[in-house]
Amino acid sequence: MTAQTTPTLSGAGGGFRGLLEKWGLPAPLLFGYVGLLLFMIGDGVESGFIAPFMADHGAGTDIRASYVITVYGVAVMLASWLSGALSELWGPRRVMMLGLAIWLVFDVLFLAIAVSGESYALMMVFYGIRGLGYPMFAFGFLVWITAVAPIARLGAAVGWFYFAFTGGLPTLGSLVASFTNPIFGHYGTLWLSIGILGLGGLVCLLGVRERTGFQRLAPPDVKPVQSLVSSVSIAWKKPQVGLGMIARVINTAPEFGMLVFFPTIFAHQIGFGEARWLLLVSVIYGTNIVFNLIFGVVSDKIGWRTTIFWFGAVGCAVSILLLYFVPLALGADYYWVALLVGALYGATLAGFVPISALLPSLAPENKGGAMALLNLGAGAATFVGPAIVSLFLGPAGAAGVVIIFSALYVVAAVIVRFLELPEATEEALAKDANLQTVTEETAQETDQEADQEVRAPR
């Protein structure tokens, strides 16, 4: 899989397409981003209440519910790796179709059979298998993006991906739930989420006609087993890619972990209530989606590694401590302060966005393998976060778990210092940036000449 190094998608002709390209969004993939947003809204509806919902419908306790979510995370981790490896063999679009089908089928089984019958065993099976669905859809599309976007705009392109991804999970998803839960209840809201997600899948798969994602990305002579093995072996053949994967795990592990036990603490222990907790979640990730774009663009200017180190790792190490300890110390009367520290965490979380551009660029000769490992890290986060909660919530308490999360971000900061782009990649970045600049200047000159022609007296 190779990223473009020519400005063929730069939209020199101006107009809406040119505007999208100027913002770093590949115009042929526009409907993919829109569909991904809707898909992740459907997936994210449950994020603010699924653990207590499971506890009340068969799991029994929050800790038993966290075991179900941990199994789900294992499935997500496996599917995240497969999304990159299989996209190389089948093409991203086919992988996305498979992910959509898995999510829809097993979520219906989860709601209609496991939840209705309050069966803990079936809950674990159906909800766990459903975890294979969203990574194949979402991260399959991320592979598609990295195959199409020019390397000098790759930071912005993946910034738009995470704008759509976190815009749905959990930002707008939680916001939708805050309105629908009082009307339909938790169970009805979960059924509604299926319709939203299905609509997003159709918009993406039917709306995007860009042909790269319709075909395999690996060379014709690469066999399936060889492709799968190379997507793992790159971790020790290219140790920096392996380290980058660990940093990607740390990026969102605390995010998924805190959603297991924060709802109970913020809604009941602090006293915000469910509605204000869901609004806080929306503020955290609403801020996050804005800064996903900001840091995506900024990282193309100041460097991907610099952005991840200062704004991502160091920033999150501080902000996650503030997110927990400040509201706990001040209490329910200072809800506005909780919104502020929540927004800070959301902003710093976005500082990790360029890692999706950095990792495949560390191995330009095997971008597919690097993407598979990157996606494995993203999926592993959904397992590692809840697993840390399962292991340490009892002995260390909520405060201890949050401190562990902060320490992990410090580890990520150390890792990022060791990630250096190959010289060939640096040269390609510089060359592509120059080509983009020349194209933009040509487009501006063309627009100015056209404007002068219109204004000239006749």
Is residue 28 a contact partner of residue 208, using CB atoms and an 8 Å limit? yes
Chain segment 419-457, per-residue pLDDT in tens? 988 776 677 666 666 655 555 555 555 555 545 554 555
pLDDT value, residue 46: 93
Query: What domains appear along the chain, each with residue ranges and CATH number?
Result: 24-215+233-440 (1.20.1250.20)
* Residue of 273 and 15 predicted with greater confidence: 273
Instruction: Return d(Cα 93, Cα 99) in angstroms, integer.
Output: 10
Chain segment 377-392, per-residue pLDDT in tens? 988 887 899 889 989 9
Chain segment 171-229, per-residue pLDDT in tens? 788 889 989 999 999 999 999 999 999 999 999 999 999 999 999 888 887 777 777 78
Is residue 357 a contact partner of residue 304, using CB atoms and an 8 Å limit? yes
Instruction: Return d(Cα 313, Cα 414) in angstroms, integer.
Output: 9
Cα dihedral 376, 381, 383, 387 in deg (nearest 10): 140
The SS3 of residue 371 is helix
Residue 406 token pair? 């902060």
Statement: residue 10 has pLDDT above 70: no
- The percentage of the chain sitting over the pLDDT mark of 90, rounded to a whole number, equals 60
pLDDT value, residue 434: 66
pLDDT value, residue 88: 87
pLDDT band at 142 (very low <50, low <70, confident <90, very high): very high
Instruction: Return d(Cα 373, Cα 7) in angstroms, integer.
Output: 28
Predicted TM-score (pTM) of this structure: 0.80
pLDDT band at 2 (very low <50, low <70, confident <90, very high): very low
Q: What is the mean pLDDT of the chain?
A: 88
Q: Identify the CA nearest to 176 among candidates 47, 292, 284.
A: 47
Statement: residue 4 has pLDDT above 50: no
